[in-house]
Amino acid sequence: MFIWNILNKHWKKLMFIPIVIFLLSVGFLALNTVTKGSFIEKDVEMTGGKLISIITSDRVDIGAVERVVGSAGTVRVASGITNTILIQVPEEYDEKEIIEKLDFISIEDYSVKQIGPALGEMFWHQAQLAIFFAFVLMAIVVFVLFRSLVPSSAVVLAAVSDMTITVAIMSLLGIQLSLSVLAALLMLIGYSIDTDILLTSRLLKTTGSKEEKIKSAMKTGLTMTATTLGALTALYLLSETIVLKQMANVLIIGLVVDVFTTWLTNVGILRWWFEKREKRTREA
């Protein structure tokens, strides 16, 4: 297999590519924190205000909608079978007045979600706690399962890298953090470590050469990822529910990122560790 030959020959160099991207992502999120006050833009659910969701089959001119909303609001569009315009404005804005001014759009339906600033702030703090404790509990399970520092640390590093790079890409694409996006990120922790656990288990608990075990794990892991990506792509393209679209979008990004962190970096760390261990065994 052509790809396997490249990975097998240049694994020491390739393992650093996701690490560099991870460090760049950390720097980008740190810059966001300094300049914007938060590492990622937050949805109305995390800040408070009103979120107006407008369903239309028309092609949307975002610039025209932004001129109607004004500088205090933000406008996003989720495309699919129908288009959903997401307008986030402060709590005091009158949504009916905005709808009336959008007379150049054929509005099929719209809904308004309103959340107070105090409740939004509470959701934001709970979101941070949920992600933190999810990582802590995941790390505990991994260390108990493998009981070896380097393989367990490699799995945790892969999960941290997946999450960090995914959040950085979300920020670049303008995807705001909402409760549905938070749910997708928590799901991503599970999705991202399943391939890492598969890889580590094959290497530690099966017989054969490390190259054959890695190749077998890669074949199984990439098949798992491909089938999940297929289902998520169908969900994103065919769903008319903005919540499902947001979750599918985040999971697609995260799973693509996981392909590189698992099969370049995690594989490289484990191969390095195995070679060191074999060398010590021979010398003993």
Predicted confidence band of residue 228 (pLDDT cuts 50, 70, 90) = very high
Predicted confidence band of residue 262 (pLDDT cuts 50, 70, 90) = very high
List pLDDT tens digits, range 113-135: 887 777 777 878 888 888 889 88
**Over residues 261-274, mean pLDDT:** 90
Q: Is the pLDDT of residue 24 over 90?
A: yes
Q: Assess contact for 55 and 84: CB atoms under 8 A.
A: yes
Amino acid, single-letter form, for residue 257: V
Q: Assess contact for 186 and 163: CB atoms under 8 A.
A: no
Q: Is the pLDDT of residue 231 over 90?
A: yes
CB atoms inside a 10 Å sphere around CB 4:
13
How many percent of the chain have pLDDT more than 90?
A: 25
Residue 273 vs residues 153, 182, 203: alpha-carbon distances, Å: 12, 34, 11
How many percent of the chain have pLDDT more than 70?
A: 97
**Over residues 6-19, mean pLDDT:** 86
List pLDDT tens digits, range 192-224: 888 999 988 888 888 778 888 888 899 999 999
pTM to 2 decimal places: 0.84
Tokens of 231: 């289902």
**CA–CA gap between residue 140 and residue 126 (Å, rounded):** 21
**Over residues 251-280, mean pLDDT:** 89
Q: Indicate the fold that domain 2-41+119-283 takes in CATH.
A: Multidrug efflux transporter AcrB transmembrane fold (1.20.1640)
Domain 49-115's class?
alpha beta
Q: What is the pLDDT of residue 263?
A: 92
List pLDDT tens digits, range 63-82: 888 888 877 678 888 776 67
**Over residues 18-39, mean pLDDT:** 92
> Structural domain boundaries of the chain?
2-41+119-283, 49-115
CB atoms inside a 10 Å sphere around CB 110:
17
Q: What is the pLDDT of residue 44?
A: 79
What is the chain's mean pLDDT, rounded? 85
**CA–CA gap between residue 125 and residue 142 (Å, rounded):** 26
Q: Is the pLDDT of residue 282 over 90?
A: no
Between CA 24 and CA 30, with CA 25 as vertex, the angle to 5 degrees is: 100
**CA–CA gap between residue 189 and residue 183 (Å, rounded):** 10
Q: Is the pLDDT of residue 281 over 80?
A: no
**CA–CA gap between residue 241 and residue 159 (Å, rounded):** 28
Predicted confidence band of residue 284 (pLDDT cuts 50, 70, 90) = low
**Over residues 177-206, mean pLDDT:** 87
Q: What is the pLDDT of residue 54?
A: 83
Backbone angles phi, psi at 149, to 5 degrees: -65, -50
Q: What is the pLDDT of residue 68?
A: 80
**CA–CA gap between residue 229 and residue 65 (Å, rounded):** 33
Q: Tokens 């020959």 identify what position?
A: 9
Percent helix, percent strand, percent coil in the chain, to nearest 5: 70, 10, 15
Between CA 166 and CA 185, with CA 171 as vertex, the angle to 5 degrees is: 40
Q: What is the pLDDT of residue 163?
A: 93
**Over residues 145-149, mean pLDDT:** 86
Q: Is the pLDDT of residue 22 over 90?
A: yes
Question: Does the fold of domain 49-115 match that of domain 2-41+119-283?
Answer: no
